[in-house]
């Protein structure tokens, strides 16, 4: 993937790919993490109806507020975003990026690299510490963002990671990444 050019329309400055040896949750697991809420609460989210005027602008604001308040990034505005390492090969890893001005992740960013078209966000983002996930969501009549934290202790997600780490159909890099993440978060 030509990362700088594909991420630039969304207002993301590409700072480089993360080392695959770093024990981060694999992007494919990060995108599934919102499906494993803890019993005691729901994940914080921001949702905007597609029929709302300026729905992409509102969704961008909701994503920024949720990300800032939830700890995706600090004053440096740096975080990780899942990118396809080799285009067309379905192997995803984390790229370090900085949020520039202006930016449009839910619109132009979704159209160029982070989704399945303008206003159709399908991205996964991770804090540089690896502790906060922000995922874009696309519903039948809405778009939005969900924030996930404390996910390393979710039994169902850990079971899925363990299964992916052992399943021969999982790409070798993802199997190794799942094992590293599981081992680094074992208590």
Burial class from Cβ neighbours inside 10 Å (0-12, 13-18, 19+) for residue 128 reads middle
- Confidence label for 12 from pLDDT (cuts 50, 70 and 90): very high
CB atoms within 10 A of CB 187: 4
Strand partners of residue 126:
80, 133
Residue position matching structure tokens 């996910």: 151
Pairing of strands 45-49, 132-138: unpaired
SS3 assignment, position 52: coil
- pTM, two decimals, is 0.93
Beta strand segments in the chain, E: 12-17, 45-49, 78-84, 92-99, 124-126, 132-138, 142-149
Instruction: Tell me: pLDDT of 1 over 90.
Output: no
SS3 assignment, position 40: coil
Average pLDDT of the chain is 92
54-96, pLDDT tens digit by residue? 999 999 999 999 999 999 999 999 999 999 887 666 678 999 9
**Token digits for 16?**
């480089």
CB atoms within 10 A of CB 15: 14
């Amino acid at each position: 993937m030509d990362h700088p050019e594909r991420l630039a329309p969304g207002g993301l400055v590409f700072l480089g790919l993360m080392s695959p040896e770093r024990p981060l949750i694999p992007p494919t697991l990060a995108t599934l993490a919102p499906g494993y809420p803890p019993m005691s609460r729901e994940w914080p989210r921001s949702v905007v109806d597609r029929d709302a005027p300026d729905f992409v602008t509102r969704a961008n604001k909701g994503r920024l507020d949720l990300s800032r308040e939830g700890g995706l990034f600090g004053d440096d505005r740096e975080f990780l975003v899942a990118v396809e390492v080799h285009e067309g090969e379905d192997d995803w890893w984390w790229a370090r990026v900085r949020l520039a001005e202006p930016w449009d992740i839910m619109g132009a960013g979704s159209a160029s690299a982070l989704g399945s078209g303008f206003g159709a966000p399908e991205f996964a983002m991770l804090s540089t510490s690896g502790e906060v996930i922000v995922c874009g969501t696309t519903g039948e009549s809405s778009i939005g963002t969900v924030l996930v934290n404390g996910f390393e202790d979710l039994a169902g997600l850990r079971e899925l990671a363990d299964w992916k780490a052992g399943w021969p159909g999982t790409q070798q890099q993802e199997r190794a990444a799942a094992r590293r993440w599981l081992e680094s978060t074992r208590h």
